[in-house]
A = this chain, B = another copy of it.
Amino acid sequence: MGIIVQKFGGSSVANAERVMNVAKRIVETYKQGHSVVVVVSAQGDTTDDLIEKAREINPKGSKREMDMLLSSGEQISVALLAMAIQSLGFNAVSLTGWQAGFTTNSNYGIAKIHTIHNERVKKEIDSKNIVIIAGFQGINRYDDITTLGRGGSDTSAVAIAASLGADLCEIYTDVDGVYTADPRLVPHAHKLDDISYDEMLELASLGANVLHNRSVEMAKKYGVNLVVRSSLNNNEGTVVKEVEKVEKLDVRGVARDNDVARIALVNVKDEPGVAFKIFSMLAKNNVNVDIILQSIGRQGKKDISFTVNEDNLDIAIELLEQHKDVIGFEEIKATNEVSKISIVGAGMVNNPGVAAKMFEALYDANINIHMISTSEIKVSVLVNQKNADKAVQAVHDKFHLV
């Protein structure tokens, strides 16, 4: 008898039939006596279609106008879902981001949620309405519409769950939960019953595509009970929660991220402050850098390589070229034909042999490693994209994740 937040992605509401299925699932939860708050993304390809419309007219329109345009997508899906619930004989009310009280900063396209003024949502809950909220969007202090970027609807769902003190936040997706590896790559991969926020965070940011890392960060920060489950069946799903430290070797899963690109700056001057100049400049322009590798300087020169999201490759190169004189390098080499393969597990920090075991698996599979990055709970390597699937399988089997 508490508040349950349910989030449905774009493919779950892609057409009339799926919208009706989602409506039925929501009504089932409501009939159990819970207050239900739903967060929905835009239908299927709507966002892509809108981006294409904009591109035809002006590939460089302002980000403010782009957010105005894209936010219409969720406005359509929330209204349709509310009508679907009404057709089942239940009361539903749809709310845009601003109506639901989502305020954000002004970073159009990648805005961060600032506060949720949840009075309206609470009022609708009190009126026994099922509340359908447009994910991915909010307004800034100027009353302009903003969008939250990739995975924004997950973040919207966790944020409203935190704001309302919801008992549960269910993220519905097209898989049963979090797996030890992508089941399309590793057929004998199996579903995890639970996973810690930190492990999920690494998996999320490493291309597991189940939950966006921003939403997991927020869930961890506010202690939101998350469940990842399928919108296609009634299986249990994977619970994401705070867990006690584990000491034993515990590799939980293998992830693959193909949306990664590598940039190498050749013959950079070997002097203090160069790395600072490069990475502060990129950060200022919202280009996130992941793995960084720096060669040992020879004859006053060194090479600096790093990875960025594939989407940021062009802008990163443009920025670097603009600042070529300040940074002082000879040449840029770049490729997006690479993939990042990662193993994740909270027990890893105490087991130095884990990384070596991963490298051994890749060596046995004759796969060359370009870059390596480690943290307390993960080891990531960069390999050629053509070897990515084979690498996932080899690593998965090596750790007996079956």
Which residues from 65 to 97 on chain A have a C-beta closer than 8 Å to any C-beta of chain B?
Answer: 65-66, 68-69, 71-73, 75-76, 78-80, 82-84, 86-87, 92-94, 96
Complex-state Cα separation, A228 to B8, whole angstroms:
46
**Chain B residues positioned under 8 Å from A325 (CB to CB):** none
Asked if residues B16 and A56 are in contact (CB atoms below 8 Å), the reply is yes
A interface secondary structure, majority: helix
Asked if residues B61 and A87 are in contact (CB atoms below 8 Å), the reply is yes
Which residues from 121 to 175 on chain A have a C-beta closer than 8 Å to any C-beta of chain B?
Answer: 143-145
**Chain B residues positioned under 8 Å from A84 (CB to CB):** 57-58
Quote the shortest CB–CB distance from A155 to chain B (angstroms): 22
Let me know if A205 is at the binding interface, CB within 8 A. Answer: no
Let me know if A54 is at the binding interface, CB within 8 A. Answer: yes
Let me know if A20 is at the binding interface, CB within 8 A. Answer: yes
Let me know if A50 is at the binding interface, CB within 8 A. Answer: yes
Let me know if A53 is at the binding interface, CB within 8 A. Answer: yes
Asked if residues B99 and A83 are in contact (CB atoms below 8 Å), the reply is no
- CB nearest neighbor in B for A76: B72
Asked if residues A58 and B86 are in contact (CB atoms below 8 Å), the reply is yes
Knowing A58-B86, A65-B86, say if A80 contacts B53 (CB, 8 Å).
yes
**Chain B residues positioned under 8 Å from A58 (CB to CB):** 83-84, 86-87
**Chain B residues positioned under 8 Å from A302 (CB to CB):** none
- CB nearest neighbor in B for A83: B61
Knowing A65-B79, A75-B71, A83-B65, say if A57 contacts B93 (CB, 8 Å).
no
Asked if residues A80 and B87 are in contact (CB atoms below 8 Å), the reply is no
Quote the shortest CB–CB distance from A41 to chain B (angstroms): 14
- CB nearest neighbor in B for A87: B58
Quote the shortest CB–CB distance from A302 to chain B (angstroms): 42
- CB nearest neighbor in B for A53: B80
Complex-state Cα separation, A99 to B96, whole angstroms:
13
Question: Which listed residue (B57, B71, B78) contacts A19, Cβ 8 A?
Answer: B57
Max count, chain B CB within 10 A of own CB: residue among A50, A61, A73 = A61
Asked if residues B94 and A80 are in contact (CB atoms below 8 Å), the reply is no
**Chain B residues positioned under 8 Å from A94 (CB to CB):** 65, 68
Knowing A120-B143, A143-B120, say if A57 contacts B72 (CB, 8 Å).
no
**Chain B residues positioned under 8 Å from A96 (CB to CB):** 68, 145
Asked if residues B83 and A57 are in contact (CB atoms below 8 Å), the reply is yes
Question: Which listed residue (B69, B76, B143, B145) contacts A80, Cβ 8 A?
Answer: B69
Let me know if A269 is at the binding interface, CB within 8 A. Answer: no
**Chain B residues positioned under 8 Å from A120 (CB to CB):** 143
Complex-state Cα separation, A65 to B99, whole angstroms:
13
Let me know if A390 is at the binding interface, CB within 8 A. Answer: no
- CB nearest neighbor in B for A94: B68
Asked if residues A72 and B72 are in contact (CB atoms below 8 Å), the reply is yes
- CB nearest neighbor in B for A142: B120
Let me know if A301 is at the binding interface, CB within 8 A. Answer: no
- CB nearest neighbor in B for A20: B57
Asked if residues A62 and B76 are in contact (CB atoms below 8 Å), the reply is no
Quote the shortest CB–CB distance from A338 to chain B (angstroms): 34
Let me know if A60 is at the binding interface, CB within 8 A. Answer: yes
11 contacts between A and B (CB under 8 A): A19-B57, A54-B83, A57-B84, A60-B86, A61-B86, A61-B87, A65-B86, A72-B79, A96-B145, A99-B143, A99-B144
Closest 8 CB pairs of A and B: A61-B83, A69-B79, A58-B87, A72-B72, A58-B83, A68-B79, A16-B56, A72-B75
